[in-house]
Structure formats: C-alpha cells, structure tokens
Amino acid sequence: MPRKPLLSSALCALALTAAAAPALAQDIYIGTVDVRKDQLILTRCDLVQNRYVLRDREGETDKPVARLRERLKTLQAPVYVEVIGEYVEVQDEDGNGLEVVDLGNITAAKSCHLVDALPSR
C-alpha cells in the first residue's frame, strides 16, 4: 500500500517538470522560396499561398537561412524547400515569420503550387 503515494508523488513531480520546460511549437512548412526586399520569403504550398519571412534563430551558431540565401544565387527558380521552424510575428506587410531550425529537400526548378501544375493557355 505505501507504493501508491510514492508513485503518485513521482508522477506529479514528472508532470510539473514537463510543464516547466519551455515547449517549442515547431512545424514543417513546405513551399517555394525567393528573395524580396532583401528578405527570404517562403510561399507555402497551400490554397492561400501564405507567405513567411524566414529568419535564423538568435543565438544559434547554425545559420540555415544565411546558407540558403547564398545557394539561391546559383539555383534556378522556383526553389522548393521544406522548413522546420517556429512561427513568429514580424513587422512587415504580411506579419508572418518563421524562426528556422532546419531546411531540407532544397530542390531547384521545382514547384509545389497548384497554379504551376495547371496547363498554361
């Protein structure tokens, strides 16, 4: 019988520790990327084509956005990319931004937008 209070105390301590740790709301954002007004902009592959300003995370030594900016100079547009990032509000015309954790599957001359898949007239 004395094990139940011990187990319940341990579970409460674990729950409090998990709640106290900062949670990062990271997600995967898929789209095409280009430079506008000296900012890297991801145009998401959704029906609305939401746009996000990509930023490197402050205090991090890894700078995936800066590396992608350099690569874009040699890649043929459109450039497809999968972004792992955390949503942030930014002060610009769209108000949407992503603090980038990682970039993957960077592919030149590839689009995932529905408009690009339709036959041109």
The burial of 120, by beta-carbon neighbours within 10 Å (0-12 exposed, 13-18 middle, 19 or more buried), is given as exposed
Beta bridge partners of 88: 97
Which residues in the chain land under pLDDT 50? 1-3, 6-7, 10-11, 14, 16-22
Six token digits for residue 60? 């991090």
Output the pTM of the full model. 0.75
For residue 106, tell me if it sits in a domain: yes
CATH number at residue 95: 2.40.50
Reference 35, options 75, 89, 63, 85; nearest CA is 75
1 occurs within a structural domain: no
Q: Are 27 and 71 in contact (CB under 8 A)?
A: no
Query: 72 lies in which domain range?
Result: 26-117
Domain total for the chain? 1
pLDDT score, position 24 = 58
